[in-house]
Amino acid sequence: MAYKALYRTYRPKSFSEVAGQKHIVRTIENALANNKIAHAYLFCGPRGTGKTSMAKLFAKALNCEEAFGHQCNECGNCLSVTDGSHPDVIEIDAASNNGVEEVRDLIEKVKYLPIKGKYKVYIIDEVHMMTSGAFNALLKTLEEPPAHVVFILATTEPHKVLPTIVSRCQRYDFTKVDDDAIREKMVEILDLEKIKYDIPAINAIIDLADGGVRDALSILEHVLAYAGNSIKEKDVFDLFGLASTKEKLDLIKAIANGDVKDVLKRMESFIASGIDIKRLTSNLLDVLKDALVYSKTEEQILLSVITEKDALDLKNLIEVERLNEMIEILLKAQNDFKVVSNIRSLFELVLLRLATSSNKSKGSEYIEPKEEKIVDKPLPKPEPKVETKIESKASEKSIEQKIETIEVKAVEPAPLVETNGSTVPSWLLEDEMTIDEKIKPAIETKIKSKDSNTQDKCTINTSGDKNAIDDETMIKIMVLGDKEERQTISKKWDDFNALVAHPKYGLVASLLKDGRPYIVTKDVLVLEYDFDCLSDRINIVTNQPAIAELIKGILGREVFVYAIIRSEALRLQKSFFGLRQINKLPKAKDIVLNFKGENL
Ligand SMILES: [Zn+2]
């Protein structure tokens, strides 16, 4: 059985299957019905809200052989748009290095008539990432587009697109998809796949996905890999390091009681279980909002995350004024998280502030020095500032790896990659045997397990000390990045899909398959992820051995694996290009990376 990502399998096949975005669907359908086609569209909106899916559906509607405006999904044109092979529907990721080249190339070819369809459709993703040269070249084409060409530009950051480009496009703003629409889509898929679930589990996934359908489905896949064919709320909490409602309520109660010791103890236990602090903050705000609403209305129907009993408890415990104050402090913290490097320390201070200011609310005297005393006390386990370029905290079970001098290779940084296609690992399948029969023996010879009991499932820890690489070092790694090797590895990446059901390596494969190779050097592989809860898991020191083992099966050599999230990758790429422009990039031959620490 070939594995295919849920969001690819269940990509909408017609406008009516699109989750949310009804306003856009209706406008586009009307335009098609009246044959009023613009030459350029700008699809703006958060990631995973259906911009690319909509663009593909539009391309089908323009070229469907059954009828203009349809998506029959059976004619040659529809089918080849679906599988990405249509010669007239060209998708370009402007965020990748060759994106610029491709834009230039497309502008060259724009004048030629479509080969197979009626319209040539150019879908340019992340259009804001184009260089000014490419922008200008595109602008010229947009000024006088040939009649047979439709441009669909997609971006998550419309403010970064040149106004002269925006003004030539029909703009559509995609919104985050509302929870009900995502829930409907997920339930439909789960029923089709015959998977059992409870609604709180679905709600927890929806909360994590934050309005992105693609994210919801990719989170769902992770939970399935972890929990099998029946998913419960606890599985989602465990896997993604979320606090349960009870834990959140207990924390709020401890804060309200001004029990500083208890607050710190709970904080410690959250950290130990690998909780995502930003998400916890936002969840605490949801609870407080419910409490506030209930205090004012006593309407059970207005509650969204807690029960009426919980709301009543909070009402009796905390005054409205204090609730408002707590909300204010947490909202400010959310903003501050964006600018500080050590979120954990800030969060501890925020909790202390919440707990001590609540003291005041209960009528007890608020004593300034008391707060000072608490703050001055060393906070539990502050993150050590280590001088080495790559920090790594001690861990016994980690792989031993020393990277000394790294030889000079290509100078291009690794761009963002879109992997697609194949599903069966070539190094696993040589004959007609089924994957299940074949994987086990093959993988066990290919991947040398360090411990003797190879039957044991490799677990992935969700908490623990993390490796961290600073920007300066990341730039050096980018300088050493080997573009060709990265492309080679990217092609093999889908191999992990076939391994997600593997008894031993399933969890590790499931974690890896969602990453994209971003930079490859002789000794380091940097992966790019969509969620920090996943990239964090790669960086947890104790997870390295299992990850390195599986990667070795694909790469044929041991590397240090490190993960970053997409926004980080884009930021680093900007710095890289900025430095390159002013000729300030370090020279590859001068770079000596000392990966210090006993586990690197
Ligand atoms: Zn068709």
pLDDT digits (tens, 9 = 90+) for 100-122: 677 778 778 888 899 999 999 99
Q: What are the tokens at 416?
A: 């963002």
CATH number of the domain at 245-376, please?
A: 1.20.272.10
Q: How far is the CA of 63 from the centre of ligand 1 (A)?
A: 7
The CA 74 to ligand 1 mean position distance, Å, reads: 5
Residue with tokens 């909300």: 327
> When comparing pLDDT for 400 and 543, which is higher?
543
User: 179-240 in CATH: which number?
Assistant: 1.10.8.60
Separation of 32 CA from ligand 1 center, angstroms? 14
Q: What is the mean pLDDT of residues 523-536?
A: 85
The residue with greater pLDDT, 322 or 363, is: 322
Residue 93 Cα to ligand 1 middle (Å): 25
Determine contact, residues 68/35, Cβ cutoff 8 Å.
yes
Tell me how far the alpha carbon of residue 462 lies from the centroid of ligand 1, in angstroms.
46
| C-alpha to C-alpha distances, 433 to 320, 437, 492, 494, nearest whole angstrom | 66, 7, 20, 19
Over range 389-395, report the average pLDDT.
41
More confident residue, 294 or 239: 294
277-297 vs 320-337: helix axis angle to the nearest 10? Answer: 160
200 versus 421: the higher-pLDDT residue is 200
Measure 435 CA to ligand 1 centroid, in angstroms.
34
CA 412–ligand 1 middle distance (angstroms): 41
Given a cut of 50, whether residue 527 has pLDDT beyond it is: yes
Rounded Cα distance between 233 and 256, Å, is 27
Q: Is the pLDDT higher at 174 or at 404?
A: 174
CA–centroid distance, residue 183 to ligand 1 (Å):
29
pLDDT in tens, 22-31: 999 999 999 9
Does the pLDDT at position 241 exceed 60?
A: yes
DSSP assignment, residue 481?
A: -
Angle between the 277-297 and 245-256 helix axes, to the nearest 10 degrees? 70
What's the DSSP call for residue 301?
A: G
What are the distances in angstroms from CA 482 to CA 305, 468, 567? 48, 21, 21
What residues contact 407, with CB distance under 8 A and at least 6 apart?
A: 522
- For residue 287, give every residue at least 6 positions away whose Cβ sits within 8 Å of its Cβ, in sequence order, or none: 245, 248, 249, 252, 305, 306, 314
Quick: pLDDT tens for 267-301: 888 888 778 888 899 989 999 999 999 999 998 88
Residue 513: count of CB within 10 angstroms of its CB: 23
Q: What is the pLDDT of residue 9?
A: 85
**Could you tell me the distance, in angstroms and rounded to a whole number, from the CA of residue 290 to the centre of ligand 1?**
48
CA distances from 428 to 492, 513, 553 (A): 12, 16, 10
Residues 6 or more apart whose Cβ sits within 8 Å of residue 139: 162, 164, 165, 168
Measured in angstroms, how far is the CA atom of residue 80 from the centroid of ligand 1?
Answer: 10
Find the 8 Cα to ligand 1 centroid distance in Å: 19
User: pLDDT tens-digit profile of 51-95?
Assistant: 999 999 999 999 999 999 999 999 999 999 999 999 999 988 887
Using left for φ > 0, alpha for ψ between -120 and 50, and beta otherwise, residue 76 falls in alpha
Q: Where are the domains of the chain?
A: 21-173, 179-240, 245-376, 390-590
Q: Which CATH class is domain 21-173?
A: alpha beta
